Amino acid sequence: MKAHLKGRTDLAESTVEVGERRYRITHPSVADALIDEREFDEDDRLPYWAEIWPSAIALARRLSGDDLAGRRTIELGCGVGLATVAAMEGGASVLATDYYEAALDFTRHNARTNVGSSPATSLLDWRAPDVGDHGPFDLVFAADVLYEEGSARALAGLVPGLLKPGGEALFADPGRRWEPLFRELMGEAGFSFETEEATVDVEGQERDVTVLLHRVRGG
């Protein structure tokens, strides 16, 4: 699992409650230790994938309440795989994607640990996407991916082409600056939003985190 991590990286294991399940999720203990200055200078890369974000917890809990049996799904920016694990537990066929090979390593490991099998995985650059012959999908889902303007614009261009007719997307977001832009662009493309709030209690923080869960459907 460390094959695609640069340098020495300590690992940690967190227990995350999702519905009636408690998942054991392995992740880098200090995400900032993975910052590569050369990669950041060349491509603005930061190791967002290495954290278990509150939005990922909220998304996993939301997915756990859905009947996903037989549904073809894709996660955009899978990170260490919590939401993918929840979707697999619910019976979905999942293609887990990320910009980092290390994220796919952790996702495969965490899926094997918690549900006994690995999802299909693929590297995916939202700016130049290639999902091969895997799509289209019944469900696209993602957690906390609207942190940059370029991400919001790229995803608004990508998601419509991933969905089969009648498909839907589920985005979890804690109120990032560029989330309104994503909603605006998707609305211009004919998609509607149903939004609900979820509250996540994060260890070490004084306040709970409010996450917006957007269910996105075509017109």
Question: Quick check: 34 pLDDT over 60?
Answer: no
Q: How many domains does the chain have?
A: 1
The pLDDT, as a whole number, for residue 202 is 78
The domain in which residue 29 lies consists of 2-218
Average pLDDT on 149-178 reads 95
Band (pLDDT 50/70/90 cuts) for residue 207 is confident
> Domain of 133: which CATH number?
3.40.50.150
Between the alpha carbon of residue 13 and those of residues 26, 30, 69, 89, the distances in Å are 4, 12, 28, 19
- Between 131 and 49, where is the model more confident? 49
